[in-house]
Structure 1
Amino acid sequence: MSVKAYRGALFHLTEDPALVGAEASHQYEVDGLLIVEDGHVQKAGAYADLAPTLPADAEVTDHTGGLIVPGFVDTHIHYPQLDMIASYGEKLLDWLNRYTFPEEAKFADPAHAAECAEFFLDELMRNGTTTALVYGTVHKGATDALFAAAHKRDMRIAAGKALMDRNVPDAVRDTAESGDADSRALIEAWHGKGRLTYAVTPRFAPACSDDQLTRAGKILEEYPDVLMHTHLSENADEIAWVKELYPDADGYLDVYARFGLLTDRSVFAHCIHLDGPEYQRMAEADAAIAFCPTSNLFLGSGLFSLKEAEKYGVKVGLGTDVGAGTSFSILETMDEAYKVCHLKGHKLDAFKAFYLATLGGARALNMGEHVGNFEPGKEADFLVLDLAPTPLLARRLKTCKNIEETLFVLAMLGDDRTIAHTYIMGEQAYSKG
C-alpha cells in the first residue's frame, strides 16, 4: 500500500453552508496534513495530530505556505469552443449561428478533435479543474477523442455527444437514429471505464426533434447511472422559440419532462428565467442547475437567482461555460457569481462560493460520494493554491484576518496563476513553472 502525505494549510467543505451555517460547514487547519493511500483520502486534519500516525516509509510533500483545497468541479463547459472564446457582440441564438456551429463543424476532423481534447484537458488542470461535465459536438469521434484523452490522465470527466437533428446547419446535424446509435456506442465504449461517465446530451429543445428527445429519454431509462446534460431557460428569445415549438407545454422545463429527461441525473445549464413552479419541479426530481455567470453576462442573457434555487432546495454547481464563458478559471467564475448574486440582492459568501466550486458541484453531478472534499475514502483530487501568485494578491492576503476573508480575496482576485499544483488521484498532474 502506497501512503503519501501533503502538508500545508488545509480547507474543505463538509456540507452546504446555506443548510448548516458557515461554522459547521467546513474544516480548516492552519497547519494541516492530507494523507493519501492508493489515490484515495485516508485522513485530513491537523499536522500535529496526524504526523505521528504516518508509517515510517510514508512520502511527505511539504506545501507549507500554500492552501490545500479539493479540486474544482466545472458543471458545464464546451470543449469544442476553445477557438471561439471571446467572440464579439452577439446574443445566444445569433452567437450559435455566427460562431459556434461553424467552429463545431471542424470537429468532423479526428486530428483536430484529438488536438483540441489534449489542450482542453491540460487547460482544465492548469486552472485547477479536476472534474467536469463536458459538451461534445455532434460528431461521435470528437467525444471518443475527449474520453480517450481523459482516460489517459485518469480524470473524472463526464461527457456526451451533442444531439441535434433540426434547426441547425447540415454540418452539425445528426438524425434521431444516428444520434441514438452513436450515444449507445459511446456508452458501451466509455461509460464506467476508469473514472469516465457518459452524459446524454441534447443540445437544447429547439435543436432536437420529438423523436430524438424520445430516444434520449429511453437511453436515460435503460442506463440508470448515465447523466443527462442540456440547456434550459438561458435567453428570452430561446424561451419564446420553445413556446412556439411546444405551445401545449407548461413552460420550457415541461418540454424536457415530457420526454423523460427531468430526473435526479439531469443537469440543466443556466436556468436564468425559471419560475417558482419550475424550481419546485426541479427540486422534486432532484435535478441540478449549472450556474454559469461569466457566459450569462457575456451574452447578456440575464442574472441567475441562486437565492431562489436555495429557497426550493435545488442542487447547484458552478459552470464556466467556455466558450461563451470567458475563462476556464473557477476562481474567476466565483468572482462573477458574487457580482450576479449581488445584483439579485443576495450576498454570496466565500464558504458558499467554494461549496459550489467543490462539494456542491460534485453533488450536482451525482459524484459527491467520489469527489468534492477530503472525507476518508474519496478520490484524492486536490489543489495547492499559491497565496502570493501576484504582487497584489500577496499584499492583500497579508491583511486577511481569517480563512473566510482569505477565501473571498482568492475568489475575487484569483485566476489560473493562483493554481500552484493540481493533483489527480494523489499524483501531481500539473505544477506551475
Structure 2
Amino acid sequence: MAEGIKIIKGNIVFTPSFGQLEVFESSFILIEGKTVKGIYRELPAEYTNMAVTDYQNTLIIPGFVDLHFHAPQFANRGLGLDLELLPWLERYTFPEEAKYTNIAYAQAVYKQVVTELWKWGTTRVACFGTIHKAATAKLLELLALAGLGGYVGKVNMDRNSPDILIETTEQSLTDTEDYIKATVDRYELVKPIITPRFVPTCSPELMTGIAKLAQKYNLPVQSHLSENAGEIAWVKKLHPECQNYASVYHQFGLFGQQPTVMAHCIYNDDAEIALMAKSKVHVAHCPYSNNNLASGIAPIRKHLDNGIAVGLGSDVAGGHEVSIARVMTMAIQVSKLKWLATDKSEKFFTIPEVFYLATKGGGSFFGKVGSFEAGYEFDALVIDDSSLEVSACNQYSVEDRLSRFIYIGDYHNIVARYVAGAKIEQPQL
C-alpha cells in the first residue's frame, strides 16, 4: 500500500489555464502528502485496495484565495461606504486600527476574522495587520493554528498619518525586523510579508529600509497602487521626480525585486502596466471596494492581456464581503459595466475566468497553489449544492452547478475544507 496517499472522490472542477474549466465527473483525486498526485476517472490497480473518501455527488474545487484583506478593519464592514477612500480612512479606518495597540482587543477580533475566513472557504490569504507588531504576530499565529495558509504584514507608516497611528522611521524598521525574526520560521504555511501601507504614509527612508528587510529575509511585498484619483495626485506631489505611482515603489526596491502584489491598480497608465509586467507584479482585483469607495473600475482585462498575474481580493473593510465567491460575481458585474463603457470593446468576464482568478490566479502568489494539476498543493473545498436544487427533476451540468453555487450558494454549502493536503475543521481558537 502506498504510504501517505489520500484518495478523494467527487465531481472535480478546476482551471489549469485562464478561462479553461477542467471537469472530471465522479472521479478520484490522489493526494500524496501535501500535493496532488493525479486525477483518475478509474482508480489505477495499485490503489484499488485503499480507502476512499467518497463525497458522492458533490463538487470538489480548489480553495479560494484572497489576495488583499485588511484583518483589523473587520469590525468596520458596512461602515462609511458612502465616502471616498481618503476621508473613509481618516474617519473610520485609522481610528479602528489604532485600537490594536490593545492585544486583548486584537485577539478577540482576529479570532472572529480567522473563523470567518475558514467559514467562507478562503484557504490562502494575504493580510494587512496594523503598525503594532504584537497584534500582527497574534493574527499570524491564529491563522496558522487554524490550518490556513497566508502572508501577514506588519504595516509601515511614518508620515502623513494621524498621531494615533504613526511610527518614527527608526521604530517602524526596528519593529518590522523584530516581527519578522519572531515569525519567519515559526510556521510552515503562514509567513510575514513586507507591508508599506501606501506611498503617502511611507517616507523614502522607510521604503528604502523595508526593501532591505525584504531582501535580507527573502520576503514578498504587498501594498496599494493607483486606487483613487486623489491618492494618485498626492503621490505625484510627494514624488514629482517619478514618472508615475508604480515607479515610486520601484525606485525604492519595492516593486518586483521580491515577489510583489499590488491592490486595486485602477488607473495604471501604459508605462505603469509595462513596468508591472516587466517586474512580474501581481494585481489584487478588489471590485467591491472599488465600487464602495467610488474609486473606479480596474482595467483587469488589459492587465491580463499584458501578461500580468491577477487574483481577487475582498479588501475588507473597503469591501464588505468576506466571501470570495461574492467577489467573483461582483468582478463579473463590474466587467459588464466596463464593457458597456468601452463601446463593448473590452470583453466582460465569464465564470471560468473569474473562477481562475479566485483560485490559480491568486494562488500563484503562494507558489503551486489554486489548481489540481499534478504537483500542486491540495487546497480544496467540497461543495454540497443539493440545497440549491429547486426540483429533483432538474439535471444540471457540473459547470452550471458551479455557477449556481458561486452566485447563490453560501458557507452552508461548504462541507469540507483542505489546505496543503490536510482537512481543516472549524477553528477552536
- Given the two structures, how large is their TM-score scaled by the length of structure 2? 0.91
* Alignment correspondent of 1:162: 155
* Alignment correspondent of 2:343: none
1:12 maps to a residue whose letter is F
Name the CA distance, whole Å, in 1 between partners of 2:120 and 2:338.
Answer: 28
Relative to structure 2, which stretch is displaced further, 65-74 or 4-13?
4-13
Label 1:51 to 1:431 Cα distance change in 2 as closer, same or farther (>3 A).
farther
1:211 counterpart (205, 213, 222): 205
- Whether contact under 8 Å (2:118, 2:426) holds in the other structure is no
User: Cα deviations across residues 59-85 of structure 1 (Å, max 9, x unaligned)?
Assistant: 322211210011111000011011101
Name the CA distance, whole Å, in 1 between partners of 2:235 and 2:394.
Answer: 51
Tell whether 2:415 aligns with 1:416: no
1:35 maps to a residue whose letter is L
- Say which SS state the counterpart of residue 269 (structure 1) adopts: strand
Name the CA distance, whole Å, in 2 between partners of 1:400 and 1:351.
Answer: 20
Label 1:235 to 1:398 Cα distance change in 2 as closer, same or farther (>3 A).
farther
- Whether contact under 8 Å (1:191, 1:197) holds in the other structure is yes
Tell whether 2:334 aligns with 1:362: no
- Say which SS state the counterpart of residue 344 (structure 1) adopts: helix
1:60 counterpart (52, 58, 63): 52
Label 1:349 to 1:237 Cα distance change in 2 as closer, same or farther (>3 A).
same
* Alignment correspondent of 1:201: 195
* Alignment correspondent of 2:231: 238
Tell whether 2:311 aligns with 1:309: no
Label 1:385 to 1:116 Cα distance change in 2 as closer, same or farther (>3 A).
same
Q: CA deviation at 1:251?
A: 1.2
Label 1:397 to 1:116 Cα distance change in 2 as closer, same or farther (>3 A).
farther
- Whether contact under 8 Å (2:223, 2:261) holds in the other structure is yes
User: Cα deviations across residues 372-392 of structure 1 (Å, max 9, x unaligned)?
Assistant: 112334332210112134xxx
Name the CA distance, whole Å, in 2 between partners of 1:146 and 1:430.
Answer: 18
Name the CA distance, whole Å, in 1 between partners of 2:393 and 2:267.
Answer: 41
Relative to structure 2, which stretch is displaced further, 188-197 or 200-209?
188-197
- Whether contact under 8 Å (1:74, 1:330) holds in the other structure is yes
Label 1:388 to 1:51 Cα distance change in 2 as closer, same or farther (>3 A).
farther
Q: CA deviation at 1:401?
A: 5.1
Name the CA distance, whole Å, in 2 between partners of 1:39 and 1:217.
Answer: 32
The number of aligned residues is: 415
* Alignment correspondent of 1:146: 139
* Alignment correspondent of 1:31: 26
- Whether contact under 8 Å (1:331, 1:412) holds in the other structure is yes
2:73 maps to a residue whose letter is Q
Label 1:420 to 1:144 Cα distance change in 2 as closer, same or farther (>3 A).
same
User: Cα deviations across residues 341-390 of structure 1 (Å, max 9, x unaligned)?
Assistant: 11111221111111101111011x2x232x2112334332210112134x
- Whether contact under 8 Å (1:151, 1:196) holds in the other structure is yes
Tell whether 2:172 aligns with 1:179: yes
Name the CA distance, whole Å, in 1 between partners of 2:414 and 2:147.
Answer: 19
Name the CA distance, whole Å, in 2 between partners of 1:283 and 1:38.
Answer: 34
Q: CA deviation at 1:396?
A: 8.9
* Alignment correspondent of 1:221: 215
- Whether contact under 8 Å (1:288, 1:314) holds in the other structure is yes
* Alignment correspondent of 1:379: 377
Which consecutive unaligned segments of at least 5 residues does structure 1 have? none
- Say which SS state the counterpart of residue 234 (structure 2) adopts: helix
- Whether contact under 8 Å (1:400, 1:406) holds in the other structure is no
- Say which SS state the counterpart of residue 79 (structure 2) adopts: coil
Q: CA deviation at 1:425?
A: 3.3
2:17 maps to a residue whose letter is E
1:13 maps to a residue whose letter is T
- Whether contact under 8 Å (1:150, 1:156) holds in the other structure is yes
User: Cα deviations across residues 154-193 of structure 1 (Å, max 9, x unaligned)?
Assistant: 3211111000011111221112112212222222222243
* Alignment correspondent of 2:244: 251
2:200 maps to a residue whose letter is P
Name the CA distance, whole Å, in 2 between partners of 1:110 and 1:133.
Answer: 21
Name the CA distance, whole Å, in 1 between partners of 2:172 and 2:251.
Answer: 19
Q: CA deviation at 1:278?
A: 0.7
Question: How big is the alpha-carbon RMSD for the aligned residues of Structure 1 and Structure 2?
Answer: 2.0
Which consecutive unaligned segments of at least 5 residues does structure 2 have? 340-346
Name the CA distance, whole Å, in 1 between partners of 2:217 and 2:90.
Answer: 33
- Say which SS state the counterpart of residue 295 (structure 1) adopts: helix
- Whether contact under 8 Å (1:126, 1:422) holds in the other structure is no
* Alignment correspondent of 2:402: 407
Label 1:194 to 1:73 Cα distance change in 2 as closer, same or farther (>3 A).
same
- Whether contact under 8 Å (2:118, 2:148) holds in the other structure is no
